[in-house]
Amino acid sequence: MSRASKLTLAGTSLVAAGIVVFVHYAQQAEKAAMHAGVVRDMEQQKIKQERLADFQMQRALEEEYRKVQTVHDGADVVGLEKKGA
């Protein structure tokens, strides 16, 4: 086998090995990015559920407070102050 053919064989083998390593690395990076997206989506769903629970609790507290005390709008209070003055 001539020197040129040996160099060609070695070069193409190295290029092929490099391509395999690169593709393997790219697949791992893509898999990690996809998993990070799933984790981020789960966190967003968790935050959304927490906010919804907090909103529902605040709504229930507001209903309870409205039963216990009368609530006036800010415009009504201003109007009452002007009438009383």
* HSE of 14, CA atoms in CB hemisphere, 13 A: 6
Distance CA 36, CA 78 (A): 53
Distance CA 33, CA 50 (A): 26
Specify the 3-state DSSP secondary structure of 69: coil
Q: What confidence tens digit (pLDDT) does each residue in 28-76 have?
A: 999 999 999 999 999 999 999 999 999 999 999 999 998 888 767 666 5
> Model pTM?
0.52
**Contact between residue 72 and residue 78 where contact means Cβ atoms under 8 Å apart:** no
Domain residue spans of the chain? 3-84
